[in-house]
Amino acid sequence: MPEAVLFYVFAAVAIGASLLVIGQRNPMYSIMLLIASFGALSALYIQLDAPFVAMAQIIVYAGAIMVLFLFVVMLLNAPQEDAAQWDRTHPLRRPGVGRFGAMLAALLIVQLVWALVRVTDGGAAVGARGDVAELSSVRSVGRVLFTDYVFAFEATSILILVAMVGAVLLAAREEQR
State which of positions 126-165 bind another protein (CB under 8 A).
126-131, 135-138, 140-141, 144-145, 149, 152, 156, 159-160, 162-164
Say how many residues touch another protein, by CB under 8 A: 109
Judged by CB under 8 A, the residue of 9, 89, 94, 108 near another protein is 108
Judged by CB under 8 A, the residue of 95, 96, 125, 175 near another protein is 125
DSSP 23: T
Contact at 8 Å (CB) between 31 and 66?
Answer: yes
Judged by CB under 8 A, the residue of 71, 89, 94, 154 near another protein is 71
- Phi, psi dihedrals of residue 72, rounded to the nearest 5°: -65, -45
Judged by CB under 8 A, the residue of 81, 89, 94, 154 near another protein is 81
Q: How many Å is the Cα radius of gyration of the chain?
A: 21
Contact at 8 Å (CB) between 69 and 154?
Answer: no
Contact at 8 Å (CB) between 18 and 34?
Answer: yes
Question: Which residues ranging from 29 to 58 are in contact with another protein (CB under 8 A)?
Answer: 29-32, 34-35, 37-38, 41, 44-45, 47-53, 55-58
Report d(CA 144, CA 20) in Å as an integer.
38
